[in-house]
Amino acid sequence: MRFTRHFTKDNSSPYDEIEFRQTTSEIRNPDGSLVFQAEDIEVPSNWSQVACDVLAQKYFRKAGVPAKLQKVKEDDVPEWLWRGVPDDEAMADSAKDEQFVSESSAKQVFDRLAGTWTYWGWKGGYFDSEADAQIYFDEMRYMLAHQMAAPNSPQWFNTGLHWAYGIDGPSQGHHYVDFTTGELTRSDSAYEHPQPHACFIQSVDDDLVTENGIMDLWVREARLFKYGSGTGTNFSKVRADGEPLSGGGKSSGLMSFLKIGDRAAGAIKSGGTTRRAAKMVVVDIDHPDVEKFIDWKVAEEQKVAALVSGSKMCEKHLNRIMSVCCEGDSDDRFVPKKNPELRKAIIAAREAAVPENYIQRVIEFARQGHTEIEFKTYDTDWDSDAYLTVSGQNSNNSVRITNDFVKAVEADGPWALTMRTNGAIAEETSARELWDKIGYAAWACADPGLQFDTTINEWHTCGVSGRINASNPCSEYMFLDDTACNLASLNLMAFQRADGTVDVDAFEHAVRLWTVVLEISVLMAQFPSKEIAQLSYEFRTLGLGFANIGGLLMASGHSYDSDEGRAICGAITAIMTGVAYSTSAEMAEELGAFPRYDENRDEMLRVIANHRLAAHGEQVGYEGLSILPVPLDHANCPQDDLAKAAVKAWDNAYELGQKHGYRNAQTSVIAPTGTIGLVMDCDTTGIEPDFALVKFKKLAGGGYFKIINRTVPLALSGLGYGEEQVEDIVGYAVGYGTLKDAPGVNHKDLQAKGFTGDAIEALEGALASSFDIKFAFNKWTLGEDFCRETLGLSDAQLDDLGFDMLAHLGFEKSDIEAANAYCCGAMTLEGAPHLKEEHLPVFDCANPCGRIGKRFLSAESHIRMMAAAQPFITGAISKTINMPSNATVEDCKDAYLLSWRLGLKANALYRDGSKLSQPLQSALLDDDDMVEDIVDAPRAAAAPVIAEKIVERVIEKVAERQRLPTRRKGYTQKAIVGGHKVYLRTGEYEDGRLGEIFIDMHKEGAAFRSLMNNFAIAISIGLQYGVPLEEFVEAFTFTRFEPSGIVEGNDTIKMATSVLDYIFREVAISYLGRDDLAHAEPGDMLPDTLGRGVHEDDGGEASTADAIAAIQKVASTGFMRSSKLLVFSGGAEQTETKVTANSAATDSQGQVVADGAATVSAVAVQAAVVEEVETRLDQIREAKAKGYEGDACGECGNFTLVRNGTCMKCVTCGATSGCS
């Protein structure tokens, strides 16, 4: 083949015009700990830090790279293409640890990839001359360095390690077909023939242990997962539950075996390989077990919910039973009839459905002298034991439906489920009921997706050789069983001219070269099984695709949801596949068509002709299609030469194919482009729209800064906005990074509050990179001395992570919000100055942008964009349709039905919040809304509201003593324990926290009294140095020594096993709300708790003076036993009493004092409003506002996951949950 230069020049390196820089790559956990570091790596200067990090962490070879190389002479290969091996002689004088190193330059990687492709291309006869090979080598290196395109991850991992560095290893059981002889050969080297394929489809037979049987499939899958590839299989051959076995008996059914495969994939995922196991499970709609398959993940998610809530319920009630069993010394405490508290605890446990046997077990355990039990609780985190316990979590599930089934649904007709062994009808069910189950399952847990079997096989180029039964895990590669596909994607933004149009010539040139790359990759590859090696050689399927269509459309001023946008996407896709097939026919002329072409010639030309008709924009004339495609919309394509090039590309592809055939049975897919999208610095991946308008760009030295999506200024300029207008709009979105001249809160306002010039300067330095101005107002920015002395803040306030300094200083909520929008930006263009309403759709993203954004792309817009591209893709499109949390089951069914009608091959839906592990944006706001509802409610309605929020605060700080005020509040409690008087005196901080205790037993003798006094001093010092009161309570409750026994004089504690047991029960009840340590509920002491016969209505009224007296009693938090007061003053605004962290988990009875009706009502307000939202929830809220999904990355822990096709991708470290 002949090649020409488009990007490079003769007699010069492609690197000559590229500036490179030295940088350090670091990836850190959210807590700052180092995940990965590489120093002094060489990368192109215009690459972002994220692209550098992904290259260094994921794609640099970390070991075995010789410090010195020598070339291995090959007579039939040009000298510059000779492969390299370690130069042992040259390295002999070097230290052993310096002889083999890591790759440290992007040039090494580019040379390794492009050199290997050129080397195998030369050996395979793809170049007419050495000059053509040199051009190819240079052009490929240029495109890699300029981020114009990238191959899939296995190429970066494996390709060229043997050619460039002589790295080798023992065979791993792979096979390849020798291209010179056509013979299937077992590999004798792990690296000479690389494994560059990411996507596999494997078959399975209805047999348990033979070759290609069920258990054999798990072995074959494991081999793929080990090397980071993904696999899909249609399991419909496996007989259903109850079908007869040849040896007698009945089959355990499909689901029993799917659970084995799921466990195997999960084990490999947790084994620390490159990425989690990527697996697709497909089942036909007529399989007898299809209903169980549809419901599989729904039922498993219900199990997760049951594990989470049930474990916490059991833990609570069983520990309560244990607690009451440990009170007292008599054996009667284990007998419910003789221990009223135990009886109450058992009844409560039974009502919560705690198993009877477990209740008995705990009582017997307590009888043996044990005082506590450990009952593990679970949560809904994706990587938690709850999800690890249930099945079905390691695969994408898809149901394969036919046109006949959809027609049966529309007609509300019957649907036959057929036996696998003999084809007989096992059951006849309602098609609509099955459809409803699919819709509900997709709505409830985002699985299963759908694959449209009839459409897939009507566009099948090799139907004579067999049906298409399955796909890879991401659903873009669809072909025969036991085949593989290697992928590459073109970055469309790299082909955009300054005027916003697409450089068609450059794009076509790149498509031709990358089609050759993928074809050479088939020639050089090895495969994990003999069958895949043979069929991949015989059909030679390729997976060329693109990324950044969302970025390209926005940059050119076209909405993703517009006829123009869809026309551009359709034209680009048509050019790509048309040129790829033209190139394939060109290679067929030189090297021959794929071996199985002749038997499929008619089918293939029929499909190519249908593609061609769609490129011409025809509505009729298609052959062999039940559902007509969406043709190219020439009328709405704003770039005329783009549409013309699409027509020409398919005309050439068809004409050349008629003459020469095709080298490849398939040429294109649209993959998610997860990790490689980060390497190319793509704004959007695959066919996806953008997820946010404001991005957080990583700095080389760590940290992030906000930057507008680079396509936004381009779009605004193209839409006719002037430079100053663009600056204003961008400033509105990103913020100005300063409070100078800001509305609501500015420098003058702060100076009036006492802020000095130095304080404002320090504040400004922190505001430049803040996500919210509240984050900058803290002691670390302003200094503790300034906060204490000038602003008058206490240590408790400064240490409180939830403390709102601006609100404390008197700024209104509306002022803070206005200043925040000015300084930190709205992160959306909604409401931006100058921006016209009709231009807003151009900037619509997959999710609402920022905190105030409302607009987002509809599910229909995603589906119609896919429909515009699908007629020009030989495979399929990996895409998940995002749906809002309020989408209905009907919406899900409608989306699937529209996908079928528009000719898509597959689709998957993701409703926000359909996974228990994924927090909802709306749910995060509900906490605050609940607070406002309580505060704003009428007095009569507010009292009974239960606002429960349990918070765990983990604050790491250097232990410093926090001394109590010299005049402080507290309370004195007198009691008699086992006949001995005990006086307990407490001292409290201003916010009500316990800071000291005094214990006085003055009649017990000097030694014992002194011991108790000094013990109290030790506890007090511990409290003042930050030892949690909870730790002391856990340590000293249930200790046993004399005096002990009956307690008199305390209204909640009636029995103690020692003086220390009594002391710490008392402080726990008073300061921690630990009513589980009490023997009488506080509410039992109140007049409206116990019935009073004919006097039932008496005594509930109180005078205003009584109400005031009740309020005065709360001077001490401990005295009120952590009660919360909601104080209503007639005609005045209701104020909210703050709750300390210590009382955040309380369960005590509160008092509500109402002045208007002059009543004191004993209403339980359990654990009222907390002042601090849990840190993790803050992180999730911030991540969602930034456009991320709200989940933490499983590899680096950062909350920077974005949806990527049917998977998730971390934009910090590049990890993906799929095979891209």
How far apart are alpha carbons 1196 and 1204 in whole angstroms? 18
- Catalytic site includes residue 476: yes
Cα–chain center distance at 911: 14
Q: Are 726 and 713 in contact (CB under 8 A)?
A: yes
* Residues 6+ away with beta carbon under 8 Å from 180: none
What CA–CA distances, in Å, run from 257 to 216, 238, 447? 12, 9, 19
Amino acid at position 438, single letter: I
What CA–CA distances, in Å, run from 1171 to 1139, 1140, 1142? 6, 7, 11
- Catalytic site includes residue 301: no
Strand ranges, E, within 947-1041: 972-977, 980-988, 994-1000
How far apart are alpha carbons 985 and 997 in whole angstroms? 6
Q: Token pair 């680079």 is at which residue?
A: 710
The sign of the torsion formed by the CA atoms of 613, 619, 625, 631 equals: positive
How far apart are alpha carbons 1162 and 1087 in whole angstroms? 8
Residue-by-residue DSSP string for 740-756: TT-SSS-HHHHHHTT--
Q: Are 415 and 408 in contact (CB under 8 A)?
A: yes
How far apart are alpha carbons 821 and 818 in whole angstroms? 5
Buried b or exposed e, range 474-501, using 16+ CB within 10 angstroms:
bbbbbbbbbbbbbbbbbbbbbbbeeebb
Of 199, 462, 474, 845, the catalytic one is: 474
- Catalytic site includes residue 474: yes
Of 394, 472, 709, 882, the catalytic one is: 472
Radius of gyration of the chain from its Cα atoms, rounded to whole angstroms: 35
Amino acid at position 312, single letter: K
Q: Are 439 and 259 in contact (CB under 8 A)?
A: no
At residue 457's C-alpha, the angle toward residues 456 and 461, to 5°, is: 105
Of 103, 139, 221, 476, the catalytic one is: 476
* Residues 6+ away with beta carbon under 8 Å from 272: none
3-state secondary structure 202-226: CCCCCCCCCCCCHHHHHHHHHHHHH
Q: Are 384 and 378 in contact (CB under 8 A)?
A: yes
| Residue from 1136, 1105, 1138 nearest 1122 by CA | 1138
Q: Are 186 and 175 in contact (CB under 8 A)?
A: yes
* Token pair belonging to 941: 């309605």
* Token pair belonging to 575: 């050019």
Residue 481 DSSP symbol: S
Q: Are 242 and 250 in contact (CB under 8 A)?
A: yes
Q: Are 43 and 23 in contact (CB under 8 A)?
A: yes
Total Cβ atoms within 10 A of residue 920: 16
Amino acid at position 530, single letter: K
Q: Token pair 């200024």 is at which residue?
A: 713
* Residues 6+ away with beta carbon under 8 Å from 16: none
Write out the catalytic residue numbers.
472, 474, 476
